[in-house]
Structure 1
Amino acid sequence: MTEEGTSAVKATTPAAAPTGSAAAATTSNTSAGPSNLAGAPMISMAASSASAVGTPSATPKLNNTILISVDGLHSSDLTAYIALVPNSTMATLAKQGVVYPNAYLPGPSDSFPGILALTTGNNVSVTGVYYAMDRNLYPAGACAVIGSGKPTGANGTECLFSELQDYETFSIGGAPGVGAFDGLATNVTTLQTDFPSRGLNGTAVNESTLPLDAACDPVHAWRYNQANTIFQVALAAGKRTAWIDKGPYYEVVQGQTGNGVMDLYTPEISCQCGDNQTGIPSTIITDGTGVDLAKNITAARAYDELHVQAVINQINGKHSSGNYAMQMPNLFGLNFQAVSVGQKYAGYQNNGTTFSPGLKANLDYVDQSFARILAALNSSGNAATTGLVITAKHGQQPVTTNATLISPTSIATALKNQNISVAQFTTDDIGLIWLTSSNQTTAALTYLRTLASNTSYGILDVNQPAYYGLVSNVAGRTPDLVVVPQAGVVFASPGKKLSEHGGLMQSDLNVALMVYAPQLATAGTVYSSTVRLSLVFSWHRAADHQSKGSYGRPLCGLFCEH
């Protein structure tokens, strides 16, 4: 981790170590909250200078680290929630930990680039992972037999790893007969067979839907990513690893070996399998007739409960399923969806200064879940040797208003009418354009800038990726153009969505970052200088690890011993 400058302010007197008790999770029903977030694009991040971070010091030796991504959680949300609920678990963790209010992700702020920023220490220049197109790969179906022969047709294909790659898109496990906690495996070697939704190489992913390389081999998300992950490195160093996220395609965290995570639990949030009365995920509803967990505030909490129970199982020395004993992982963590869903479908009030009741309820749930995780660490005897890193793999915007949804079809059609052919147009609160021929880049750029004066298109600016620091070193991955929407605009079809992520606005990138460890010498400190989350972990090749592969080891600004 690096930061600009060295500003640090002692915020509070350290309190007693959190116990995870019910009292620690007491919440308020008042829905007040965040200060306004600026809407200007963060366009100069790649050019920023960086120096050594203000690192938590004199920490007892930690054997375990839990990384928690509360998707959508802005830095301002954390500050506001602590002020609103001063006896919350988040408030207690802040008093006992270190808070970085000016932590920024690299762009674009989509989930895959975000999780890879946290787990590789790299941005798209190295990982090559946008929600994207690859000009060198081939589309699914280009080979008569997967893994054999040569592909037919032209190279160049969309690479959007999502629920569409699950064997059963509408199943919570992502594969036939796989429930939220199914399986009776007795040892790690049988995980691939008995736990299809968790197993090696993401076996709930249907390989017939994946892009293909020139040898007709399927390109899983973990192959698509071109950087090491912390899990891959930790496993190579003899450490135990686990991760919990929102769908089988989050096998991306496995690293380039494809097996960096020993216990990967990835129930599908987009399963549309929630009970129509309670929203609770059901293993019976597999036909898409249930509640969409990704679009329902209550159902999102029920979905996150699967994650929370799984990580508590791991803390208690069990597999994520709870079905058999495994040692507690050394490096593990989980993802929360409740805040992101609350932002999208309940939002903020009073020009972004107040949490809506729905969003507040989901923040309360996350806070109470933190208390339960701390309680599990205490009861299992692991509290003194475990640190927490609480952050988010993306923010969300807008905050001060509800999103203005503008269909991206209008932009694509306008280009087509100028005889400019678009190969791929990925949109959220940003637009990434891959042209059929990059020779038309200048013409497309010039024309799209003329549309900026027409508010019906919602365009603020258009530039080539280098302007925003979004050029990838991986051949065939970099888009030709980046379209930045006007403040509050999301390029999406009309609907109920109030906000989205993926872009370069401050509220996309300025996420929460809080580090907690027992008896931290710098407890209660707020480091106000800018922190680049893509540099939380950096890498180097170490001689003592080369025998296990040239993965290097993490040079951590948080908990690593060198």
Structure 2
Amino acid sequence: MPRYTRPALVGLATATAAALCGLPALNANAAEGRPSASKHVLLISIDGMHQSDLDWYIANHPGSTLARLTHTGSEYTNAETSNPSDSDPGGTALMTGGNPRSTGVYYDVEYSHKTDEPGAACTPGRPATGGDVIYDSPDDALANVNDFINPANGTFPSFDENGSVYAQGVDTNPAAIMNLKFDPKTSLNPKTFPVDPKTCKPITPWDYLGDNTIFQVIHNAGLRTAWSDKHEVYASFNGPGSNGQSIDDLFSPEIDSQAVMPNGVPYPQDDDWAHIDAATKQYDGYKVQAVLDEIGGRDHSGKTKVGTPAIFGMNFQTVSVAQKIRSTPTTLIGPDAHGNYTTSAPEAGGYQWVHGKLVPGPVLSSALDYVNAQLGRMVRAIHKDGLAGSTTIIVTAKHGQSPQDPNKLVTVQDGPIVSAINAAWAKTHPSNKSLIVAGTDDDLWQSYLSDNSQAASDFVKRYLWDHTAQGYDVNKKPVTVKHSGLAQIWAGAAAAHFFGVPVNNGHYPDVFGEVQQGIVYAKPTKLAEHGGMNTGDRHVLMIVDGPGIPAQVESASVETTQVAPTILSVLGLNPHELTAVKVEHTKVLPGLAGRRWDQ
């Protein structure tokens, strides 16, 4: 079989072994050669982190927490995300065990021919008109907070989404975000939800899911659940029919809100938490604190004793931001004697070529150091609180990022292409001037059409393939790309077949395209993006460490969907309680099966 058992730590260099042994192993029962049920699973998504990043980091930091986890647990070196590989459906894949074919979630900003537009007039039972399905920061109950530095610049969503922590969303003490509480009735704005044409009622993000989630199965088993993420709308992970209540402790401060330093002063860069890497670390730090509080048996605020959850965890944004931003400060400096803060000088984001090797640049290297340090804090807390013999840690990523090689980057603006397609269609269809009505094109192509006939889909495919697009390379010099920047296109029935759904499914993109390596549909400000299907988008890290987990390296292909059934199996629950496991036949990660339902 394509796996091998890791050598004992004594085979490592003395200094490395000492560093690794400084954190006792979680897999106390591994020597017995069989899995041992845990009481707790800590799930960590380091968004954007590739397997190649893990390999580089361990090689350069052999005494790191990441190195220890790989040496005492199971490392899966050929793990792939969902396809598409955006934060969603990537996050939903981790929580359900399913891909879009069963979850119905194709992207965090998508469209459906089976719904009506948010807020549309509706007559129950009539055919759907089609509408946007945008489960993202616009769904926040309080999503219009003026720019703190210059209100003329526009608005941000509120850090606390619903305005319950900061009056009118004015954030003067960001640490108070730890008091944020999710309320399924008030934290989100149902007017932004797509409308069900059968009932004329808004469809909540959790009810839009086609599959149940690990949180539902674990909660229904009488166990506590918790999760921390970047948007409150990831309350979708509660799952259908849950009334938004299967995650007992959801903590999701809004990452698209304006970044504010610890003293309440906005970052001088005047941007959100996801565009200043020093701020992203501060932001991730609140979620880290939530996890530490939960390890200690309290709720995320640290105020109420509730017991350590059976399933809990968070996503890190720091690495993803460091991969995408061209130049950004890495460090928040302060406070000084007057309580003031500043940031370090901007440094280069993304990857760099050094001595013929592609390696993380200074911002990304700093981000990896930060994440490793926070993982170390969590592992030490698990040992300090006596949970090492009952806790399994899973570290993976919702998505990767592409391109890694900056020399392959070509940014292309998709707006002019969409406008040209609509204009070309209107010449022979004067009553329909907007053929493409929706779509999100990060480093893939997705078009939803007002006419979703095969003929219309083929028209868009032909135009995209015959069109020569203008773009910019990493140095912002003009370049020309063939086929609109695409390598392959699926249209109409072919797109349905690609996703494994019926043609009349209504949720999948009418036209779906794989980009040429390096293409990103954006202004020439980014270094990379996620969502596509190239190796950089999908080849992510996967580590499992805990009691009964064998120390092994597994090179067989696995998918992040396998995390969900693995979590249930580790907790002694039946993975087949997940509908996606039954529909897609999702397996427990190899080498970890051992109970009757894992076979």
Is TM-score (shorter-chain normalized) higher than 0.5? yes
1:311 and 2:337 are equivalent in the alignment: no
Q: CA deviation at 1:472?
A: 4.0
| Alpha-carbon shift at residue 321 of structure 1 (Å) | 1.0
| Aligned residues of 1:352 and 1:399 also touching (Cα < 8 A) | no
Gapped runs of 5+ residues in structure 1?
1-5, 17-21, 27-55, 185-194
Alignment CA distance shift 1:376-1:466 (3 Å): same
- Mapping of residues 422-433 of structure 1, within 5 Å: 422-433=436-447
Shift of 1:414: 2.2
For these two proteins, the number of residue pairs brought into alignment is: 497
1:459 aligns with 2:433: no
Equivalent position of 1:297 in the other structure: 277
CA RMSD of aligned residues (A): 3.4
Q: In 1, distance between residues paired with 2:593 and 2:578?
A: 23
Look up the match of 2:220: 236
Equivalent residue letter for 2:419: T
Q: Secondary structure at the match of 1:426?
A: coil
Distance 1:15 1:159, change over 3 A: farther
Aligned-residue offset at 1:12: 3.3
Task: State how far apart, in whole Å, the 1-side matches of 2:200 and 2:21 are.
Answer: 52
Secondary structure of the residue aligned to 1:253 is helix
Amino acid at match of 1:262: D
Give distance in 2, aligned partners of 1:519 and 1:281: 45
Q: Please, which of 506, 529, 538 is the counterpart of residue 535 of structure 2?
A: 506
Equivalent residue number for residue 227 of structure 1: 211
1:462-494 CA distance string (max 9 Å, x none): 2235488324468320111112222111011x1
- Whether contact under 8 Å (2:97, 2:578) holds in the other structure is no
* Cα distance in 2, alignment partners of residues 268 and 212 from structure 1: 24
Q: Distance in 1 between matches of 2:578 and 2:63?
A: 47
SS in 1 for 2:373: helix
**Distance in 2 (alpha carbons) for counterparts of 1:240 and 1:444:** 48
Which has the larger Rg?
2
TM-aligned CA deviation for residue 198 of structure 1: 3.7
- 1:68-83 matches, within 5 Å, as 68-83=44-59
Q: CA 1:458–1:281 in 2, change beyond 3 Å: closer, same or farther?
A: farther
- CA deviation after TM superposition for structure 1 residue 549, in Å: 11
Range moving further from structure 2, 108-117 or 461-470: 461-470
TM superposition shift of 1:90: 0.4
**Counterpart in 2 of 1:47?**
none
CA offsets 1:12-61 (integer angstroms, 9 cap, x no match): 32479xxxxx96699xxxxxxxxxxxxxxxxxxxxxxxxxxxxx952443
Cα offsets for 1:499-525 (capped at 9, x unmatched): 0000010111111001111464x21x1
One-letter code of the match for 1:328? T
Matches within 5 A, 1:48-447: 57-131=33-107, 132-143=110-121, 150=124, 155-169=129-143, 170-178=157-165, 182=176, 197-201=180-184, 203-214=186-197, 215-256=199-240, 257=242, 258-275=244-261, 280=262, 282=264, 290-345=270-325, 346-350=349-353, 353-401=358-406, 403-419=409-425, 421-439=435-453, 440-447=456-463
Higher helix residue share: 2
Call closer, same or farther: CA 1:321–1:487 in 2, change over 3 Å.
same
The 1:183/1:428 distance shift into structure 2, 3 A limit, reads closer
Deviation, structure 1 residue 268: 0.5
- C-alpha distance in 1, partners of 2:68/2:555? 19
Tell me by how many angstroms 1:383 deviates. Answer: 1.2
The reply to whether residue 490 of structure 1 matches residue 520 of structure 2 is: yes
Does the 8 Å CA contact 2:581/2:587 hold for their aligned counterparts?
Answer: no
Give me the identity figure in percent. 32
CA distance in 2, matches of 1:93, 1:380: 19
Contact 1:424–1:434 (CA<8 Å) still a contact in 2?
Answer: yes
Q: Which letter does structure 1 place at the counterpart of 2:118?
A: A
SS of 1:449's partner is helix
Listed as ranges, the matches of 1:39-54 within 5 Å are none
For the 8 Å contact 1:134–1:156, the answer to whether it is kept is yes
Structure 1 stretch displaced more, 290-299 or 471-480: 471-480
In the alignment, the residues of structure 1 paired with residue 399 and residue 375 of structure 2 have an alpha-carbon distance, to the nearest angstrom, of 19
SS in 2 for 1:327: coil
User: SS in structure 1 opposite 2:91?
Assistant: helix
- Please name the residue that 2:7 is paired with: 12
AA of the residue aligned to 2:526: K
Query: Which position in structure 1 is the counterpart of 2:332?
Result: none
Query: Are the equivalent residues in 2 in contact too, given 1:121–1:534 (CA < 8 A)?
Result: yes
SS in 2 for 1:438: coil
For 1:162-216, what per-residue CA distance to the aligned partner results, in whole angstroms no more than 9, with x for missing partners?
11111223321112142666599xxxxxxxxxx7x54243742111221111223
SS of equivalent to 1:427: coil
Which digits, 9 at most, give the CA deviation of each residue in 1:515-542, with x for residues without a partner?
111464x21x1111111222344599xx
Supply the distance in 2 between the matched residues of 1:435 and 1:11 (Cα, whole angstroms): 52
Gap change, CA 1:138 and 1:329, over 3 Å in 2: same
Change (3 A) 1:349 1:248: same
Query: Under a length normalisation based on structure 2, what TM-score does the superposition of the two structures give?
Result: 0.76
Q: Distance in 2 between matches of 1:152 and 1:343?
A: 46
The residue identity in structure 1 corresponding to 2:8 is T
Q: Go from structure 1 to structure 2 and tell me whether the alpha carbon gap of 1:142 and 1:385 turns closer, same or farther (over 3 Å shift).
A: same
